[in-house]
Amino acid sequence: MTDPTANLLEIENLEVRFHGERTVHAINGLDLELKSGEVMTILGESGSGKSVTLKALLKLLPERRTAMSGSMTVGGIDVMALKGRALSDYRGKTVSMIFQEPALALDPVYTIGDQIAEAVMRHERVSKKDALARALDMLKRVRIPSPESRLKNYPHEMSGGMRQRAMIALALACKPDLLLADEPTTALDATVQIQVLLLLRELQKEFGMGIVFVTHDIGVAVEISDRIAVMYAGNIVEEGTVGEIIKDPRHPYTKGLLASNLHDADAGETLSSIPGSPPPLDVKPDHCSFAPRCAHAEERCLSALPPVFKPGPGRRVACILEEGRAPQRLGQRLPEPA
């Protein structure tokens, strides 16, 4: 990773299929790239495959019931080929993860200090004493008050926000290149959410790692990220910088998501929502998954997968509506949103 322009994370044509009582095509040909030090948010509603993508990156999906194909590389490591010792070396060291519900993601019968020290000792040849010293340092960095005594606390002795800070300390203890954050603020109170987001952003600058952040909350996505990828039915339908997505959404689904945001809504005003619900995904999509809910859908939307247009660097839209637009050239102004 000496080349700063090189991608830290590259996902190409990822497909994840669960088989069991019924088959679910959770991820369908997903492409994603992330530069080191960049924060990317995957935005989407429940069931769109956001969390599955993160778990696939750590190979945490239940092996017996999951079929994966495509390619994933992190810092040049071929994730698909990892197994055994190499896989557990990679987990927590190269890529680590913070989870949605810190109360459930921490072991209830180990102290916070022990849980952080355990990760440090797993990846670095240090003594228990040094590992605990690192744990203390991490608790300080995530600004947990009276860190010395918190080190000896069990998870149930801490508040929700405190536990999530401890989880972040654990995830960053081995200085990972890539941090995966699976809705880390969803389970928290609104005021605590903001604090945790600000903390994550600061730590990201301090540690310089890349972050893939998953959320269904546009407000959170805007707050934390450099770029946003909008996910629907197991694939990315639109990607761009935060400004591009907010000011110039191109895909009808993105527009719908932005319109159904509660911000700026006046009392008594009818709230808009996207009609219908996401497809069941028991068969692999062979046409635009959003077409049944889309006001602009044409016949061909239902007969083939939509083409992916790339109107600018790092910008893509998977929708036929892009067809009529003139290819964007350098210096040309973006068209005003409709």
| Residue span binding another protein (CB under 8 A) among the ranges 91-99, 140-148, 199-207, 269-277 | 91-99
If binding is defined by CB under 8 A, does position 119 make contact with another protein?
A: yes
Radius of gyration for the chain, computed over Cα atoms and rounded to the nearest angstrom? 21
Count CB atoms within 10 A of the CB of residue 324: 6
Question: Out of 99, 213, 253, 290, which residue is the one contacting another protein (CB under 8 A)?
Answer: 99
If binding is defined by CB under 8 A, does position 90 make contact with another protein?
A: yes
H or E element in which residue 34 lies:
strand 24-35
What residues between 147 and 166 interact with another protein by CB under 8 A? Answer: 154, 156
| Cβ–Cβ < 8 Å for 175, 134 | no
Residue 33 vs 89, nearer CB to another protein: 89
Q: Which residues contact 185 (CB under 8 A, 6 or more apart)?
A: 164, 192, 193, 196, 197, 215, 217, 220
Residue 182 vs 244, nearer CB to another protein: 182
Q: Are strands 95-98 and 178-182 parallel, antiparallel or unpaired?
A: parallel
Cα–Cα distance measured from residue 177 to residue 179, given in angstroms and rounded to the nearest whole number: 7
Question: Out of 63, 107, 202, 298, which residue is the one contacting another protein (CB under 8 A)?
Answer: 107
| Cβ–Cβ < 8 Å for 174, 123 | yes
Residue 107 vs 206, nearer CB to another protein: 107
Cα–Cα distance measured from residue 2 to residue 33, given in angstroms and rounded to the nearest whole number: 17
H or E element in which residue 240 lies:
strand 235-241
If binding is defined by CB under 8 A, does position 170 make contact with another protein?
A: yes
If binding is defined by CB under 8 A, does position 85 make contact with another protein?
A: yes
| Residues found in the chain | 338
If binding is defined by CB under 8 A, does position 207 make contact with another protein?
A: no
Site map (CB under 8 A) of another protein, residues 24-63, x = contact: -------------------------------x--x-x---
If binding is defined by CB under 8 A, does position 18 make contact with another protein?
A: no
Question: Out of 32, 39, 106, 166, which residue is the one contacting another protein (CB under 8 A)?
Answer: 106
| Residue span binding another protein (CB under 8 A) among the ranges 66-74, 90-98, 202-210, 275-283 | 90-98
| Residue span binding another protein (CB under 8 A) among the ranges 97-105, 250-258, 278-286, 306-314 | 97-105
Cα–Cα distance measured from residue 91 to residue 206, given in angstroms and rounded to the nearest whole number: 21
If binding is defined by CB under 8 A, does position 218 make contact with another protein?
A: no
Min dist. Cβ of residue 85 to another protein (A): 7
| Residue span binding another protein (CB under 8 A) among the ranges 116-124, 186-194, 236-244, 309-317 | 116-124
Min dist. Cβ of residue 217 to another protein (A): 21
The three-point CA angle 46-49-53 to 5° equals: 135
Number of residues counted as binding another protein (CB under 8 A) = 32
Count CB atoms within 10 A of the CB of residue 235: 25
Nearest Cα residue to 230 out of 197, 252, 198: 252
> Could you tell me the sign of the dihedral formed by the alpha carbons of 301, 234, 280, 275, in that order?
negative
Nearest Cα residue to 169 out of 218, 207, 205, 122: 207
Min dist. Cβ of residue 117 to another protein (A): 11
Residue found by looking up tokens 């990822």 in the block: 14
Q: What is the DSSP letter of 80?
A: G
Min dist. Cβ of residue 237 to another protein (A): 28
Which stretches of the chain bind another protein, using CB under 8 A?
Answer: 55, 58, 60, 85, 88-93, 96-97, 99, 101, 104-111, 118-119, 122-123, 154, 156, 167, 170-171, 174
